[in-house]
Structure 1
Amino acid sequence: MTTERDPNSDIDIEALARRYAEEREKRLRGDAVSQYQHLEGKFATFDADPNAVPDLVRDAVIREVDVLVIGGGYGGLLTAIQLRKRGVGTISIIEKGADFGGTWYWNRYPGIRCDVESYIYLPLLEETGFVPSERYARGEEIYTQCRLLAEKFDLYRDALFQTLAESLIWDEKNRRWTVTTNRGDRIEARFVVSATGLYSSPKLPGIPGIETFEGPSFHTSRWDYGFTGGSADGDLVGLHGKTVGIIGTGSTGIQCVPPVARAAAHLYLFQRTPASVDVRGNRPTDVEWYRAQPPGWQRERMMNFTQWTSGLPQAVDMVSDSMTDLFREKAVSSGMEMTPEQREAAEILKMERVRQRIDSIVENKETAAALKPYFHYFCKRPGFSDNYLQVFNRSNVTLVDTAGQGVEKVTPRGLVVGGREYALDCIIYATGFDFMTSYTRESGLTVKGRGGVSLDERWKDGVHTLFGMQTRGFPNFFVLTIVQAGTSINYLHTADAQSIYMADLIAHCMSNGIETVEPTQEAEQQWVDLCVSLSADRHAFFEKCTPSYFNFEGKRPREFELNSPFGGGPLAYFEYLEQMSANGFAEKLEFH
């Protein structure tokens, strides 16, 4: 039986703050984000696509289009769909993978699910009639929905799969972008939308000797079912009799650990920082309830979730899950008017309950203590699971807590921690992706705008945009990202708002004979200044956080100083975009 602390009981805030600071100090490293390496050079084999047709050969494509979308995940799909709805002419999509899906194409590891409720994460449910089978959909089901969207809106016709866009060059004379790819394609596009994704550039830890391990090893986004057997639903028969090591305890590790634990002879989980793991509360969809929802229900529910998770409690909590309950209790007790102190108290209580939950589930007290997260709730992406903590009660699972130091080295036989070598048959890296670092590095694109100026050069001192989507000197070029944009915990809400804005603006240009559009210098600088002024509190908060990808592993490089979401929050950001569209784009933009 779970025993929770009385919400009104005293918590020693000063002692907790000291513990948070101590845990942070253990994990600080001088190399910060440089401690990771990309899947290139000697690690290029880690980047191979296990789901694609090997050695695909096709003729180079030479074509002209109105809009080229780079990326076939939800961001690219939504943008192309909104353009289709507005009757925009020719649209092509370039995608690295062999199909649409983005994150949900690449990530097929066992146990994969979305942490955001299906009914507000999967887009256009009302239009497609798609019914998620569960409250938190499996990755395979989300991938299926991506393909259904592409079919419904006729996006396969001109898509180029297993293709990498390499360079975008602005032709001032013809007022077109010339886009070339790794397959020799040459596409002339009036508008280009880059939707390469938030989690598209996998990273590996820079552990000495990582290339020397003699057994199978892979990143979770390139899961090797040829070795493990089974599928995303489990039954990993290839791991029977095997000793497996997993590095990483973020949201991916939380999901893939249970099925690996069920299959392997022994699992060693190597932990640098414990995760915050709350109740998921998954259940099958009540189809009768689902079909009875009134028109417009999905957008209303999506907005309600974003309001709650933005710290703006509403009279009704439509989603009512482990994300929205953060402020629910304090909001009720304060009559919906919450002070910053009340919000902080709610966050502290939330983390205390997360730690209490560990004690109530994990039987070994030493293991339970090592699994407890000591950092502020918003310092790292929270995790949700109904079966992760339970695996530590299994006799074939060992938590190897590195006390914040990480794995020391990789040997041909396994991993070394604290001077001890752990012999392994397989190593799985659940080590995540680059996040809000360098756009050109993450996307793999070389972009040259007016006068041959590269985007790298333009952003050498940090990102400069209007609304996070356009930058001066790069006409008709849009980037779908959360840098200098308002982001919700439900990323699809942000992608939806941005796709509508971009489609409205592109349709406006085409219907009014406008050849080019870009931000005015004044509007761009005003937006950057606003982002900086509103990010001060955010930066101060993250400077005190335990290292994670949210704070560039505890040390923000100078060139990334501007690489933050819009500090005014998603609701204010959405309002900016809606006002621009409603006003017919009468300001902030330069048209020719």
Structure 2
Amino acid sequence: MSGFAAARECDRPMKIRCETTDIPSIDEIDVPGILSKYAYERDRRMRSEAQEQYVSPQGRFAEISEADPHMPLIEREPIAEDLDVMVLGGGFGGVLMGYYLRQAGLSNFRVIDHAGDFGGCWYWNRYPGVECDNVSYVYLPLLEEMGFMPSKKFSPGYEIREYIQSIAREAGLYDKALMHTKVTEMRWDEAIARWRVSTNRGDELRPRFIALSHSPANKPKLPDIPGLDAFGGKIFHSSRWDYDYTGGSQQNPALDKLKDKRVAVLGTGASAVQIVPYLGDYAKHVYVIQRTPSSVDARDNRDTDPEWAKSLKPGWHQEMMVNFQHGLWNGLARDEPDLICDIWTEINRNIRHEREQVGWSELSVEELLVLREQHDHRTMERMRRRVDEIVEDKDTAEKLKPYYRFLCKRPCSNDNYYPAFNKPNVDLIDVSNTRGVEGLTAKGFIHENKEYEVDCIILASGYEQTSSLRKRWSFDVAEGRNGKSLFEHWEDNYKTLHGMSTHGFPNKFFIGFVQGGVHASTTETFRRQAEHIAYIISTAMERGVKVMELSQEAEDAWVAHHRATELDVETFARACTPGYYNSEGGDVFRYFLGDSYGPGPYAFWEKLAEWRADDQLEGFDCKC
């Protein structure tokens, strides 16, 4: 296998130097031609419905998405009580919020989630092959604080879920957690200076403060295909994998019950890339239904080297965090090796090497951007050549090639995805010409007027990540002061201070991709937000503050500052093939990372540190 088939990585994590990858020269690429090809491939996949081509789970799908196949529902009496804080969400964001509330000395709070246990998307997603697709050493937070080392460079999903639950135990979150509980509405009650929260279990909670932590992968979405309810076989979303039907388990995904089954997988994103190899190994026949191919690099996962782990010095985790941010976004400095060594950092690693070869000559911003674009084209051409080297059927290989810029879609890595298409029982059904599947029947699916009979359809169709808030969030009502709707307040644009509070919604805070600094590691973003919010709430409580509301002036000032400094991501994203990264190309553009702070996360966190050091809760009107 040549260098185009696999990116060479370091022998161990954090080796002094990663190898550069064998990318073609820019002279081998017809840049105007490839840009024209990118535009053509984008345009023929665009749909006027944009986000409306997907629907929230309804009918039998609603029942499936609400049901928990992993833990039985434990009946309990409804709870009516006052709380200091309610945390909504039991994934990484909610658990980190609980952890920092405990660190701040608070105890009268509950974490609420509709799942049966902590874990968030890692609780629900248990499909075969599910792993972290960022390096575990930067994806998992609090590694030094918890004294934990991931077992592999890319941790398996069950290890991540268990780690989240271990943080919850360490923080004492289980005692007052309300699991299998769905918040239905939240209303601010001025008379008692608290929120009134209702749930599907009949609870009436009255928290002083609320912290919302909605995972980007919070709510499954389904393709709005004609006849979706007509299919008579087995059908489920990938986040609700049914091992009773397929056989096997997450830890041992031997899908032996599929040996006589014809299976269709709808979608070729990060989930499907991990699922397809297992289906190819076990199912009688597999149809992989693709609108747009993912870029899929070599994965080369490996066990964590215990000697390397012993050699780490205190502070290593944050060192890697900084390095990952530089490797993906900012660019690696002259004396900064790539400590991550994967597809996410390849471009900046190669740029660093190239600049080193010519003696680090000074480059203007414009020249750096040109160099970055050239390496983007060279990297994506390497990815396309990798497909040719692995996939034997040339027509199939051509359909699997990613024709778009790097980071137009989530980069994937898997050693067995492309080889699966060399198996006689795996067929690629490319639906780019019809912009999707034409319909389902009682027996299967329709493509180009031909019915394909299958026994099972797996919807690897993703989550409501950039649709409207009403579709993304799990509750029906969020009313602040004077009945103001949060859905309407943020319908056009986010309006916040630091992305974590908004005018008209006292005592309410937000963790997630709203309007602030976004780190290359999702969980580092959430951790910093949780730490900051815990400071605000604990400081307010120490001072006897009952109501703290962001002033209109502070909100306006932050929004103006944020927009004056933010990067133009829309121009790049709109040139990409449609997907959740660019709101499916719709007229209403919502970036999947929210409104991210232009100068970057570390500059943003310096602002937060200065704000906390001032110790005035500036921007909030506080009442005791």
TM range (shorter): over 0.9
Structure 2 residue corresponding to 1:299, chosen from 297, 309, 318: 318
**Contact preservation (8 Å) 1:73, 1:101:** yes
Is 1:477 aligned to 2:508, yes or no? yes
Structure 2 residue corresponding to 1:453, chosen from 466, 471, 484: 484
Deviations 1:308-347 (A, max 9, x none): 2113213122212221111111123235667111111121
Look up the match of 2:20: none
Aligned counterparts of 1:78 and 1:3: Cα–Cα separation in 2:
40
Look up the match of 2:18: none
**Contact preservation (8 Å) 2:320, 2:340:** yes
Structure 2 residue corresponding to 1:397, chosen from 409, 421, 426: 426
Structure 2 residue corresponding to 1:348, chosen from 368, 377, 381: 377
Alpha carbons of structure 1 residues 559 and 276: separation in structure 2 relative to 1, 3 Å? closer
**Contact preservation (8 Å) 2:464, 2:471:** no
- Tell which deviates more after alignment, 560-569 or 23-32: 560-569
Aligned counterparts of 1:50 and 1:457: Cα–Cα separation in 2:
31
- Tell which deviates more after alignment, 338-347 or 534-543: 534-543
Is 1:358 aligned to 2:379, yes or no? no
Look up the match of 2:179: 161
Aligned counterparts of 2:592 and 2:331: Cα–Cα separation in 1:
28
Look up the match of 1:152: 170
- Tell which deviates more after alignment, 567-576 or 188-197: 567-576
Look up the match of 1:122: 140
Is 1:327 aligned to 2:345, yes or no? no
Report the AA paired with residue 510 of structure 1. Answer: M
Structure 2 residue corresponding to 1:276, chosen from 295, 298, 303: 295
Aligned counterparts of 1:542 and 1:333: Cα–Cα separation in 2:
27
Look up the match of 1:187: 205
Report the AA paired with residue 250 of structure 1. Answer: G
SS of 2:173's equivalent? Answer: coil
Look up the match of 2:219: 201
Alpha carbons of structure 1 residues 112 and 155: separation in structure 2 relative to 1, 3 Å? same
**Contact preservation (8 Å) 2:295, 2:412:** yes
TM-score (norm 1): 0.96
RMSD: 2.0
Deviations 1:14-49 (A, max 9, x none): 001100000011111110000001013453133143
**Contiguous gaps of at least 5 residues in structure 1:** none
Aligned counterparts of 2:558 and 2:389: Cα–Cα separation in 1:
48
SS of 2:263's equivalent? Answer: strand
Alpha carbons of structure 1 residues 258 and 523: separation in structure 2 relative to 1, 3 Å? same
**Contiguous gaps of at least 5 residues in structure 2:** 5-22
Alpha carbons of structure 1 residues 560 and 152: separation in structure 2 relative to 1, 3 Å? closer
Aligned counterparts of 1:569 and 1:464: Cα–Cα separation in 2:
19
Is 1:245 aligned to 2:274, yes or no? no
Deviations 1:135-160 (A, max 9, x none): 10000010111111111111000000
Shift of 1:181: 0.6
Is 1:173 aligned to 2:188, yes or no? no
Alpha carbons of structure 1 residues 212 and 556: separation in structure 2 relative to 1, 3 Å? same
Shift of 1:563: 5.1
Shift of 1:384: 1.1
**Contact preservation (8 Å) 1:51, 1:98:** no
Alpha carbons of structure 1 residues 559 and 482: separation in structure 2 relative to 1, 3 Å? closer
Is 1:60 aligned to 2:60, yes or no? no
Shift of 1:63: 1.7
Is 1:468 aligned to 2:468, yes or no? no
Q: Percent of aligned positions with the same letter in both sequences? A: 40
- Tell which deviates more after alignment, 433-442 or 15-24: 433-442
**Contact preservation (8 Å) 1:472, 1:518:** yes
Report the AA paired with residue 419 of structure 2. Answer: Q
Report the AA paired with residue 442 of structure 2. Answer: P
Is 1:20 aligned to 2:41, yes or no? no
Is 1:428 aligned to 2:484, yes or no? no
- Tell which deviates more after alignment, 449-458 or 47-56: 47-56
Structure 2 residue corresponding to 1:96, chosen from 114, 117, 125: 114
Shift of 1:430: 0.3
Report the AA paired with residue 411 of structure 2. Answer: P
Alpha carbons of structure 1 residues 542 and 533: separation in structure 2 relative to 1, 3 Å? farther
Size of the alignment, in residue pairs? Answer: 592
Look up the match of 1:46: 64
Look up the match of 1:418: 448
Look up the match of 1:384: 413
**Contact preservation (8 Å) 1:163, 1:181:** yes
- Tell which deviates more after alignment, 519-528 or 62-71: 519-528
Aligned counterparts of 1:428 and 1:533: Cα–Cα separation in 2:
44
Report the AA paired with residue 521 of structure 2. Answer: N
